[in-house]
Structure 1
């Protein structure tokens, strides 16, 4: 489980005596993730499959990863896409931000539209990767937190 312990201190006055109490509270971890919607001029989007043994294994996703302590979302995106799919991002902009609660954690996902990059993306860490026509993205093949993004992409008027 991804829980952390927070200790709360409080004072209670009883009969002229002030006593200090503390209480341990289990809190869910909060993860911050940057993900790239890598879309080419043919309106195809590069997606990767979550490997076995990971959370949400077998689902397809927009590549990306966790922000490091103090890192800005766009900086994390650029770093993660180079590490995961071997591209150097040259143009991107924030597309949408999603907050999602799982049983064991909260996640905030920053989805960026990546419109220009160097190199051809591939599963640099051994994960499967493929190009999919934007209109053929299927929400049920993605983790729940990604599905609103699929709906937004499917609603776009692309020619």
Structure 2
């Protein structure tokens, strides 16, 4: 009998302000693409639903609280790094609290960017996902060898 496929589930928040700008944080001290920008994000923990995990991550990283009713799934990406990963991208335009950097050991700070003026240095799969979201593509795959 073969082993069942397992995948890490990544949760990403596309947080938009009243001007439709997107919140991005600059990575620092992570050992992976430090200096690049990324969405508020994290991994689903055992026993959590996707929205519960994302709400937890938003509070842990940015100090904001989001009502599950204010989250909309806007993109799903099946991407391959060192293993298969499933990335869920949720969008929110309403939240409570002030955006603050609650993990200064991993994030140099949060900045708002216009969707048409995103920083050049971004985590590549997150930049690709934002492009898919702008084009209203609900699903994408990245990093898989399509010749197999």
TM-score range normalised by the length of the shorter chain: 0.7 to 0.9
In the alignment, is the contact (CA less than 8 A) between 2:73 and 2:90 conserved in 1?
A: yes
Bigger proportion of residues as strand: 1
Q: Across the two proteins, how many residue pairs are aligned to each other? A: 131
Gaps of 5+ in 1: 1-7, 10-24
* C-alpha deviation, 1:39, in angstroms: 0.1
Which 4+ residue blocks in structure 1 deviate beyond 4 angstroms?
153-156
* C-alpha deviation, 1:57, in angstroms: 2.4
Q: Determine the C-alpha separation between the residues in 2 that align with 1:61 and 1:125.
A: 14
**Aligned-pair RMSD on alpha carbons?**
2.4
Pick closer, same or farther for the CA change 1:94–1:46 going to 2, 3 Å: same
Gaps of 5+ in 2: 137-148
In the alignment, is the contact (CA less than 8 A) between 1:134 and 1:153 conserved in 2?
A: no
Matches within 5 A, 1:110-129: 110-126=88-104, 127=107, 128-129=109-110
Larger radius of gyration: 1
Q: TM-score scaled to structure 1, two decimals?
A: 0.72
Q: Determine the C-alpha separation between the residues in 2 that align with 1:45 and 1:38.
A: 6
Task: Please list the CA deviations of residues 81-132 of structure 1 after superposition, one character each: whole Å capped at 9, or x if unmatched.
Answer: 0010000013111010111111x22221110011110012122111221111
In the alignment, is the contact (CA less than 8 A) between 2:21 and 2:112 conserved in 1?
A: yes
